[in-house]
Chain A
Amino acid sequence: MIELSAAPAPPTPRSSREPMIPRDAARRSRFWFRLISPAISSASFVLLGSFLTLSHGQAPVVPPDAAGAANVGGGDLLRTTPFDRITLYDGSVLVVEPISPRPLPPYDKSKDRFVESKRLKSQRELLIRVGEVDQLPNDAKSGGSKDAKGEKSKAPDDDLDPNNAIAVHLLQAQGQNDIRDFKVRRALIRSVEYFEDLLVEESNRLARARQFGPAFECLLSVKSRQPDWPGLQEAANQLLFAEGSAALIDGDFERGVRLLRELLERKKDHPGLINQLADAYSQRVGRALELGLYARGRAILHQLEEIAPKHEKLLSAQDHFVSEARRRLDASKDQTGAQKLESLTEALRIWPELSEAKSEYERAFADVPTLDVGVIDVPNTLGPWVHSSADERITRLLYRPLLEADHLDAFQGKPDQQLAAKIETTDLGRRLVIHLKPEIRWSDSSRSVAAIDVARTLIDRTDPNSPRYQARWADLLDRVGTVDEHRVEVQFQRIPLHVGAWFTGPIGPAHASEDGRITTANRERIWVTNGAFRVVASSPELLDLRSNHASGEATSQGIPPRIRRIREIRIPDGPRATSALLRGDISLLSKVPATLVPGLSNQPDIKLGKYDRPSLHQIALDGRNFVLRNRNLKRGLSYAIDRKGILESRILKRASDEENYVADGPLPGGSYANAPDVPPFEYNPALAQMLLAAARKELGASPISLKLEYPDRPDVQLVVPLIVESFRVVGERSGFKIEPVPRRESELENELRSGRPFDLAYRVTSSSDAIADLEKLLSPALNVPSDKDPLGSVSSPRILQLLLELERASEFPTAKALAIQIDRESRSELPILPLWQLEEFYAWRTRLNGPKPNTDRLYQGVEGWEIRPWFARDPWMADKD
């Protein structure tokens, strides 16, 4: 064993042959020490260096990757090779590999002194090198005493008490012999700085600098090395508190509360934690109350209650809720009918446990049974017409058709909800006499529906200046006349196919203006309707319908409608609409996004229904823009869309199936006129790129800029960015630009059907009868007045000619053959870009009794639906009961 003196020694000049410390290493060492331990004076460093120079000709080298890293940032310390720092009583600092055991066991000085007193040792003993007894380091040779040299063989290194000395391994080898391992007596060690402590210290520093991520990593590193390291838990708690508090200050409530709750689980009595949480929660609760997110506010309140049951902030927030609910309750006392119900519903939505409101609510609900419906869009402009899918949904509630459907029962007047008592056909169907039911009254109670109303509606449909204009009808109709008060005679220019389909639309009042409204004495313009419901209020976000039989008037069956009021609330965001249904804010949801169907089907209080008709997604092209009549351009756009990929990755989030698949033409898959053996549209971006380049050349080499208007439906909003990106990618070289423009669905469809020019329009349509609907599916503007160039809107002349031929077809086989031909030829002529077809679902809460599992229209049979008074209680309160 060799004992080396580590006592301060006069500096010895370095040997030129054996540079003690490499210049770079020395510089790094100095830098590192200056940073990591300002307390260590440069003198000490010099001393240490001198000592090592004397003893080994080497310095305790800081590893290159550790040099200067410790204080630069936690990240650097994390990347450093782990090390410990030992400071001796003489001021020397050793940077060593992590020592063991960690931390060192307690040191008993007296015992050590006793053992040491019996052991032979050098006077300058400081470091004891392990092994290699025959090799002395240079410093020992030069600086050590002869006694020591003489004693080395007599003093083996194993006579050291293992409790009083530690083995250290320098990070860098020393001298010619690469000496790294030494033993150091505990008596000589002033302090040991463990790597874990350095990391914890670094973590604290980073937390103060609000660098929480790296700070957390430092602690994680400590945990991975020594899970039970003293001070680690405390540091982690401090970090959680600091980060959580900072997140709350930054307005990131969710994150802040999550962190503080984590801290709460770790240490409930962390100083200031409860107050911090209570502050945050109460602020959040107040904000939720302001925004009308009552359920959310109560949920937060409930969380706070679990944390601090008696906290003053909790009690204050609860009071705030209750007083707000009570204010609504008080207000309801002066109200009646729907207003009263609304106030009470609001009061219970704010605080469902307001016991005095419950009975009031049930009484008010019994007076006005209200159905709240979440819809993608409410009608843009209401009137006796159908200009959008929202109109299709609503007009049947407001206006009765002449015929409920194009079938024999309707011709015989059997359905109750139609105006016609009977229709007589003569002259092979070219002449009709419509008999009207006498007892149906207009909602303004002015008179019953009469022949003049029917005649005016039918004639208005031929007037290009009327919003009810239908070019096909104008072309078909010869004349309309009233035979008497309840009989109308209609003469056609030719024998129409499916004549009944022309009479399934709404019939407006002749004594009102074109939009079906009259001006009252107090200058209000109210809708006059003859359906089961009337319009009370209409806004872009809400439609309020009230039963026409609210005053006790009986329906034709003698039973008043169970639902007296329908409120359609526009919720274009799919997940938000689903949440509203789950919360109970709405009782019926008109469209459930495909991805949310499985989730809703598992809910116990929710039922799902399916529409009979699938929705058809397509991109309509306006042929009035000459660019869009270019065949290569249309084909290029069609090839650019990865239909299957988009459908499966974005809409379905699963593989396509028999109900949801890529469309092969304008008609749905199950239609009798769907052409068989038509291959689906391919995705070929390379070909699309070439075709767009060719199109640009044909169109005069100028850049092509188009707008893609799309409805802000949830399913469409998911896919349009991908479609636009596809177009952009393939059209980049050709200078093809496309600008997506989101629009409200009913507004967009209304404008398209009124003949406004467009470029590309994403449409979601459906078809009940292929022959009747083909025109609507292939061009939204084909039925508008001639000054808007309706025929030009079809981007393929061939398809247009076939469509017009189909219009004139009077026999079903001919019409069917033409429809199949149109479907087949649409594959190559591309009057539209078909995308896919999807099955559509609706959902309702079980409080609503009446909707069927399968339906053609949302409100089919609404007159017989029942709804129970119900409001959503918080689950924790229900559990308590």
Chain B
Amino acid sequence: MRIFITASILFVFAWETALAEPAATPSTPASDTNQPKTVSPLPIEQQPYRIEVHATVDPEARLDSSKIREIFSRWEILVQRFVGAPWVLKIQTDRSALTAQSLDDFTPELFNGLGAEFDKIWILRIGIDSDGDGLLLTGREYDVATRRLGPIQRRMSAVDVELPRTLLAFSIDLFNPVAVISGEEGGRALLTVRGASVAPASPLGAVVQPGTIFVPLRVTTARDGSPRILTIPYTYLKVETIEGAVARCEFVKGISDPLSKRWSRPYSFAAVGIKPSASPLRLRFVSRKEKDEIPVAGYILTVREVPDGNPREVGLTDRSGRIAVKPQYAKSLVVVRLIAGSAEPLFEAPMMPGDSDAERKILVQLLPLAVALETKLDSLRDQIVDLVALRSRLESRMKARLDGEDWKGLEETIKEFRALTPRDVMAEKLKSLQDEAARQQAQNKQPVLTRTSKARLDELQALIDRYLDDDGVNAYAEAATLGKADAIEIEKAKSKRRGAVVGSKPAIPAASSPSAPATTSAPQLQAKPAAKEPANSATATPKALPAPKAAQPAPKAVPAPSPRPAPKSNVPF
């Protein structure tokens, strides 16, 4: 056992030193890179990347050997001019085992035994574009230290004259730096990037820049002592700042503790850069039911760009739970979210577009009860919103009736208002749904009251509390009662006065009589025609209610109905 552990530790040590193993001198001229020489060990950040390029040109590209030589020669010149010391290229144009294979069929095992003296192997193909008239560059990178195969990159070149420059841009796309995760600080990962201290010929050649994305790796051993390099799932490191050779990275993670130290075997952390590619992102979502895998079919997948992009739908999972997100749907890291129903997230994690050509199977836990609850809540919300809209419309009408002192109309509208579903019914429905969900959760040991459904419940409760109170209509009812009583009283006073005139009593001029309060309100006895309901009552918003007009000048003090609180005008219409 002890021997086994010692072997494991030795492997991890060896891996770390592999990253920091002697490299070609940065100042080695390009012409000498064909024969890299071993020199004294250098720190990792000072080591350049020794890259072997296996390039093949499709005969259909109609490029002869001298032209090819010229193109690669000019490319190397451009690399020296713009990248410089960080890269040490060796171009291999002879046919090999790697050139015969399709890029899609590459596996890391294919590279075993290759690249002992190189850090990276690039497979580069120049062919013709089947869709257009230009040349198509395709290629993949294999990182020897991490044994990781990069995504397939593609780039078009319109004419062969442009090919060297296109090759430069394409090689920058292909290149992914490697780093050692040297620690964490303030919730940030610290990466020592290989070659970061090697001065590039231009900013274009910098091996790492703010915004560069890394995939963290756990370097460990298997039980049998064989080396294992594990990709830490759903975790990316995004470079925020660079201080010397150390890049300070933000975690973009879909799991809680990606660099967990709870690992039974010796380990260390490394990272390898990643760039978006033109490959589709193939995902397959499944859930488990007993022993069977059930495809998660018909669920919505959304993506949003990191850190705060707007989520947008990219499709639905098919009957087998698969979804292929089209290439170039994003230019950088995105957060992928699988949604059940209309809002319940089943899966959420960051991903790099074109990260891998292989289909990624993702196991998710379905939440049927939670989704069913949310559907019911949606239905209840519809009912409440309808009710709020109807109440708002009737309130607008009541206000119009009140303004027009049309007491009968006001009473009828109040009656109509009272006939609507009362607030308590809605509140009771909501409560019963909540209680039922809690009961189901306790009984089935399944999440029902998820964060989303709880938010929905709270939202509905707020909706009920905010919009379904009866203060407004009560005030209108009170105003109607008082207004009507006033009208009757005034009518009585008027008829009494009329009777007095008939009884040959001297008519007292109303204006001169201090004891004739009715005269001031007499003109109001003739009810004004009910003000028309606002034409756009569909979009009308309830406003604070004014005191009834008739009530204000009335002999008896009439309390004005309390105005509705202002925020209630935010009806969702």
The residues of A with any CB-CB pair to B shorter than 8 Å are 471-472, 475, 631, 635, 684, 686-687, 689-691, 693-694, 733, 786, 789, 791-792, 794, 797-798, 800-801, 803-805, 807-808, 821, 825, 827-829
CB < 8 Å neighbour of A804 from B319, B378, B572: B319
The answer to whether B573 and A694 have CB atoms under 8 Å apart is: yes
Q: Which of B294, B320, B386 has the most CB of A within 10 A?
A: B386
CB < 8 Å neighbour of B573 from A693, A794, A797, A803: A693
Contact residues in B for A635 (Cβ distance below 8 Å): 382
Interface residue SS majority, chain B? mixed
The answer to whether B538 and A475 have CB atoms under 8 Å apart is: no
Give complex CA distance A800, B390 in Å.
31
Beyond known contacts A797-B339, A798-B342, A801-B371: 4 more, CB 8 A cutoff: A635-B382, A733-B536, A791-B316, A828-B379
The answer to whether A693 and B538 have CB atoms under 8 Å apart is: yes
Contact residues in B for A801 (Cβ distance below 8 Å): 297-299, 340-341, 371
Give complex CA distance A213, B222 in Å.
107
The answer to whether A800 and B316 have CB atoms under 8 Å apart is: yes
The answer to whether A800 and B573 have CB atoms under 8 Å apart is: no
Q: Which of A690, A691, A733 has the most CB of B within 10 A?
A: A690
CB < 8 Å neighbour of B390 from A687, A786, A805: A687
The answer to whether A804 and B389 have CB atoms under 8 Å apart is: no
Contact residues in A for B572 (Cβ distance below 8 Å): 694
The answer to whether A800 and B298 have CB atoms under 8 Å apart is: yes
B487 sits at the interface (CB 8 A): no
Q: Which residue of B lies closest to A733 (CB)?
A: B538
Contact residues in B for A791 (Cβ distance below 8 Å): 297-298, 316, 318-319
Give complex CA distance A472, B319 in Å.
8
The residues of B with any CB-CB pair to A shorter than 8 Å are 294, 297-300, 315-316, 318-320, 339-342, 371-372, 375, 378-379, 382, 386, 389-390, 393, 536, 538-539, 572-573
Give complex CA distance A733, B535 in Å.
11
Nearest first, the 5 closest Cβ-Cβ pairs linking A and B are A828-B379, A804-B297, A800-B298, A804-B298, A475-B319
Give complex CA distance A384, B566 in Å.
67
Asked whether A828 and B375 contact (CB < 8 A) given A687-B386, A693-B573, A797-B300, the answer is yes
CB < 8 Å neighbour of B378 from A472, A689, A828: A828
Q: Which residue of B lies closest to A639 (CB)?
A: B386
List 30 A-B residue pairs with CB atoms under 8 Å apart, sorted by A's residue number.
A471-B319, A635-B382, A686-B390, A686-B393, A687-B386, A687-B390, A690-B389, A690-B539, A693-B538, A693-B539, A694-B572, A733-B538, A789-B316, A791-B297, A791-B298, A791-B316, A791-B319, A797-B316, A797-B342, A798-B342, A800-B316, A801-B297, A801-B299, A801-B371, A803-B298, A804-B298, A807-B319, A808-B297, A828-B379, A829-B378
Give complex CA distance A792, B342 in Å.
14
Q: Which residue of B lies closest to A825 (CB)?
A: B375
Give complex CA distance A792, B297 in Å.
12
Contact residues in B for A794 (Cβ distance below 8 Å): 298
Contact residues in B for A689 (Cβ distance below 8 Å): 538
Asked whether A797 and B299 contact (CB < 8 A) given A471-B319, A686-B393, A690-B573, the answer is yes
Closest Cβ of chain A to B159, distance in Å, is 34
Give complex CA distance A792, B299 in Å.
10
Contact residues in A for B538 (Cβ distance below 8 Å): 686, 689-690, 693, 733
Contact residues in B for A825 (Cβ distance below 8 Å): 375, 379
Q: Which residue of A lies closest to B374 (CB)?
A: A798
CB < 8 Å neighbour of B375 from A733, A805, A829: A829
Closest Cβ of chain A to B42, distance in Å, is 54
Give complex CA distance A694, B339 in Å.
24
Contact residues in B for A690 (Cβ distance below 8 Å): 389, 393, 538-539, 573
Closest Cβ of chain A to B346, distance in Å, is 11
The answer to whether B341 and A797 have CB atoms under 8 Å apart is: yes
Contact residues in A for B342 (Cβ distance below 8 Å): 797-798
The answer to whether B319 and A797 have CB atoms under 8 Å apart is: no
Closest Cβ of chain A to B386, distance in Å, is 6
Give complex CA distance A710, B286 in Å.
39
Closest Cβ of chain B to A645, distance in Å, is 20
Give complex CA distance A825, B372 in Å.
9
Contact residues in B for A808 (Cβ distance below 8 Å): 294, 297
Contact residues in A for B340 (Cβ distance below 8 Å): 801
Contact residues in A for B536 (Cβ distance below 8 Å): 733
The answer to whether B298 and A828 have CB atoms under 8 Å apart is: no
Closest Cβ of chain A to B450, distance in Å, is 15
Contact residues in A for B386 (Cβ distance below 8 Å): 684, 687
Give complex CA distance A794, B294 in Å.
21
Give complex CA distance A635, B390 in Å.
15
Q: Which of B294, B299, B378, B382 has the most CB of A within 10 A?
A: B382
Q: Which of A631, A792, A797, A805 has the most CB of B within 10 A?
A: A797
Contact residues in B for A805 (Cβ distance below 8 Å): 297
Asked whether A827 and B298 contact (CB < 8 A) given A471-B319, A797-B341, the answer is no
The answer to whether B341 and A475 have CB atoms under 8 Å apart is: no
Contact residues in B for A800 (Cβ distance below 8 Å): 298, 316
The answer to whether B320 and A475 have CB atoms under 8 Å apart is: yes
Give complex CA distance A76, B393 in Å.
52
Contact residues in A for B382 (Cβ distance below 8 Å): 631, 635, 828
Contact residues in A for B318 (Cβ distance below 8 Å): 786, 791
Contact residues in B for A827 (Cβ distance below 8 Å): 379
Contact residues in A for B375 (Cβ distance below 8 Å): 798, 825, 828-829
Closest Cβ of chain A to B291, distance in Å, is 13
Give complex CA distance A689, B535 in Å.
13
Closest Cβ of chain A to B127, distance in Å, is 27
Contact residues in A for B379 (Cβ distance below 8 Å): 825, 827-828
CB < 8 Å neighbour of B316 from A631, A792, A798, A821: A792
The answer to whether A798 and B341 have CB atoms under 8 Å apart is: yes
Closest Cβ of chain B to A824, distance in Å, is 9
Contact residues in B for A686 (Cβ distance below 8 Å): 390, 393, 538
Give complex CA distance A789, B324 in Å.
13
